Amino acid sequence: MGIEPKGRRRVLEKVIQTPQGQVSSSPAGTGVVADTAPAAGGSAGLDLEVQEEVHRLLAQGYRIGYEYADERRFKTSSWQSGPAIRATRGPEVLAKLTAALAEHQGEYVRLLGIDPKGKRRVYERIIQTPSGKSAAAAAAPASAPKGSPSGTRLNAEVVAQVQQLLSQGYRIGTEHADKRRFRTSSWQSCSPIEATQVPQVVAALEACLEEHRGEYVRLLGIDPKAKRRVLEQIIQTP
């Protein structure tokens, strides 16, 4: 096992998407060690943050998988499973994911973290969009799409995610954390979002981002019947 490069530390939380773009370094003091550093070759289609997340998941004993969907299927959440990834070492897994991005160019590709014992998903993240951008790249500030609430600070990818969750009957929630709390995964719940219509929900999210400017803000997708989370996605960083 190689020595991890100086300054390369693992993210404790599920950093899924940021409005400012790619997060180039991870919070200090997480103590998480992976088998290798992010591969320099064979993973050109994956941003550094995704590579680190893959290593973190593997270090915790999870398996990696992926799903893909064209724009029509994405709107109805009809994801299709990609071939199982049997590899368990970082470089091989990253090579498989990079090949998947190339094979499904022009489609959405979603990274999965899977608990092999519990046979359940522990992580979901969109790592490619039809534009060809990764989730981090797509997170750069964008103008609101036609028909979206005017003046929104949320990028089109997040708005689409909110629409998808609401269409499936899920509720939307948020949590926030300053840098210190983020390092220890001590998230604090924001005011509940009772609205179920996209414009009102987006407005509530915008208000939350403004209220907690300078902090991490995490979007939650909540199954109201099972009382469980189906999505956690960071939509703002300090």
Place of tokens 């020595």: 3
What domains appear along the chain, each with residue ranges and CATH number?
A: 1-139 (3.30.190.10), 141-238 (3.30.190.10)
CA–CA dist 87, 214 (Å, integer): 39
CA–CA dist 216, 237 (Å, integer): 4
Q: Could you read off the pLDDT tens digit of each residue along the chain, which spans 238 residues?
A: 444 445 444 433 444 444 444 333 333 333 333 333 333 334 557 888 788 889 988 998 999 999 999 988 887 778 899 999 999 999 999 999 999 999 999 998 989 988 888 788 877 788 888 876 544 433 333 333 333 343 447 877 788 888 888 988 999 999 999 988 888 888 999 988 999 998 999 999 999 999 999 998 989 999 888 888 888 888 888 8
CA–CA dist 220, 230 (Å, integer): 8
Nearest in space to 99 (alpha carbons), one of 136, 68, 59, 139: 68
**Cβ contact 158:73 at 8 Å:** no
